[in-house]
């Protein structure tokens, strides 16, 4: 009986270690993925800010919308 309990206890400890390392690996992967996403969002925001700082070119200027009677004299 004691031997069975000891074997069970060892198995539970081993399983706990494996689960802990598995959880640590998953958390590390999640952290890496989140860092990549954050860096991509920062790059997009920087590009957006740079685009806003540049004066609009002729093709970027807003064209009048004839359906809302813009540009009609």
Residue 38 pLDDT > 90, yes or no?
A: yes
What would the two tokens of residue 22 be? Answer: 């598995």
d(CA 48, CA 54): 10
pLDDT score of 55 more than 80:
no
Residue 57 pLDDT > 70: no
Spell 23-60 as b/e; 16+ CB within 10 A means b: eeeeeeeeeeeeeeeeeeeeeeeeeeeeeeeeeeeeee
Instruction: Identify the band that residue 39 occupies on the pLDDT scale cut at 50, 70 and 90.
Output: very high
Q: Name which residue leads in pLDDT, 69 or 17.
A: 17
Residue 59 has pLDDT above 60, yes or no: no
């Amino acid at each position: 009986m004691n031997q069975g309990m000891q074997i069970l206890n060892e198995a539970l400890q081993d399983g706990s270690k494996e689960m802990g390392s598995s959880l640590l690996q998953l958390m590390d992967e999640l952290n890496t993925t989140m860092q990549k996403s954050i860096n991509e969002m920062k790059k997009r925001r920087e590009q957006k800010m740079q685009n806003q700082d540049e004066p609009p070119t002729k093709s970027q200027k807003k064209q009048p919308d004839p359906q809302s009677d813009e540009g009609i004299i």
